Amino acid sequence: MPSLQLSLSISPLTDPTLSPQPKPQSLLLVPHTPLRPKHLLCCLFATAKNAIIVEDQDAVVNGRVGADTSVPAEEDLLLPAGLQKEFMPKHVAVIMDGNRRWARMRGLPVVLGYEAGIRALRRVMGLCCKWGIIRVLTVFAFSSDNWFRPKVEVDFLMRLFGRGLKDELENFVRKNIRISVIGDSSKLPKPLQELIMAATETTKNNSGLHLIVAVNYSGQRDIVQACQSIALKAKDGLIEPEDINEFLIEQELDTRCAAFPHPDLLIRTSGELRVSNFLLWQLAYTELFFTQSHWPEFGESEFLEALHSFQQRQRRYGGKNT
């Protein structure tokens, strides 16, 4: 492919208070390697003395080459029409319901419903990363009550979760996503426990979206184990009974790993109107949104519907309407 030369007229960056102003100078750029068509879309940074061609436009943020693109700069956020940045939730929780129903309605094996659910989760994660305002996404992947389902289904879910962690880990690292897993992991298969430990350790310092996956989770158990931990501290004389308050309990809940432990918005798919033992303490003042869509068909339009509904509400936290 023939090389491409660019001849540009460039005005140097100067102080407008200085006089006289330098005149624009012509600059001839001759790339060391041939420019492919996509490079015509690349960003060009130039002064009178030098010029830089950046071949990967995704690596440029606010004029910085190699900047972290996982968290968009505040001025670069492009929210969909009708959404207001200041009223976006920081923490969204999702009960991903309806995978089996979605498959059965289409005459498909149940396992294909769960695999379609994984794709829906990727879509939602991608939107959270793209918009950059939602900082925590917590998803209910497997309830402690789900052990009562057929063994073949439970075994498949455990394998699917392990495979998903393996497949997505590189993506988490590339997109600066941190993953945490909450719930009683001691009952999970040993290989899955090891995968969870490796994924959480690998991503623990990532500063983009925080994905929290609830596996073998029970909201009731979460509160019980928090109380047990506090009771042991009281027994050992580390705290007094009168020291126990809401803040102390929250420090013992599984969601203590998150910068924003309380969901602003809970979304439940598939038409069910209950919280099903999910984040019972944390949902005290959460706005609830229920949709008839099954989880595998949940995408940008459904997510936007939930966010628009959230932004139309007035959150008073028990106070008076203002």
Q: Could you tell me the end-to-end alpha-carbon distance of the chain, in angstroms, rounded to an integer? A: 66
Give yes or no: 97 in active site.
Answer: yes
Structure tokens at 102: 């979605």
Backbone angles phi, psi at 47, to 5 degrees: -125, 180
Cβ atoms 311, 84 nearer than 8 A:
yes
Q: How far apart are CA 24 and CA 219, in angstroms?
A: 66
Q: How many helices (H) and strands (E) does the chain have?
A: 7, 12
The residues, ordered by sequence, that sit 6+ positions from 316 with a Cβ below 8 Å of its Cβ are 322
- How many other C-beta atoms lie within 10 A of the C-beta of residue 189? 13
Name the helix (H) or strand (E) containing 61.
strand 60-61
CA of 19: how far to CAs of 25, 133, 146, in Å? Answer: 17, 43, 75
Q: How far apart are CA 91 and CA 207, in angstroms?
A: 15
CA angle 170/72/46 to nearest 5° reads 105
Check 15, 68, 76, 97 and give the catalytic one.
97
Parallel, antiparallel or unpaired: strands 265-268 and 287-290 = parallel
Phi, psi of 217 (to 5 degrees): -105, 145
Place of tokens 């983009």: 208
Q: Give the sign of the dihedral formed by CA 225, CA 134, CA 300, CA 273.
A: positive
Q: Which residues are known to be catalytic?
A: 97
